Structure formats: C-alpha cells, structure tokens
Amino acid sequence: MNDTAIKRALAAKLLRSANLSWDDCEYGAPQIDPKRPYGNSNVPDDIREKLGMEDLTDDDCRAIHLQAFIVLRQKLHGMECSCWVCKDRADALPRGVE
Ligand SMILES: [Zn+2]
C-alpha cells in the first residue's frame, strides 16, 4: 500500500475507533491509549477488523496507524498551520511516517 492519500483516508476512518482517555501524568492531557489504540492490544488485528479489511498486512496496518498522527494533526491544526508541530519539528513525527 503506497498511496498516502488512501492510507490517510483509512486512518481517518480508523480514528473513529480510537481508545480515548485522560492521562493524569503531570498536568494531564487527552490521549489515545498507546498500548490499545483501537481497543485491544493486538493492534494489527484491531485495524483489520475496524476497517473491515482482513487482507491488510502487518506493514499495511502500521503504515495506516502512523498516518493517524498526520490526520489528527491536520484536523486539530488545519492544513495551513505553521506552528512548531506542523512545520519546524521533524522529530515530532513518529518514526517511519512519510
Ligand atoms: Zn500546527
């Protein structure tokens, strides 16, 4: 699966199943559970189930999951945002994201 637009569309659908909670660490902040981002700890199986795409490889699932960060950032900051998260910090991206 090489098409970034398709991966982002699938990530947007996947995020509807995100396991949201409040993390009380430090000041506290909303988060998606990093161990069970879509409900269970077998993340690739969750992704295949939530998307109804049983033929996705583990690499496909990882690639879609990484795009969830970009989709969230675009929804929260907008496409034209030039804040430090969007423009200046390559290290703000998850490893492996395009
Ligand atoms: Zn921004």
CA dihedral 52, 4, 44, 14 (to 10 degrees): -50
Q: How far is the CA of 30 from the centre of ligand 1 (A)?
A: 17
Residue 86 has pLDDT above 70, yes or no: yes
Q: How far is the CA of 71 from the centre of ligand 1 (A)?
A: 12
Return the structure tokens found at 58: 């583990």
Residues near ion ligand 1 (CB < 5 Å) are: 77, 81, 83, 85-86
Mean pLDDT (whole number) for 22-27: 95
pLDDT tens-place string over residues 29-64: 999 999 999 999 899 999 999 999 999 999 999 999
Q: How far is the CA of 77 from the centre of ligand 1 (A)?
A: 4
Mean model confidence pLDDT for the chain: 90
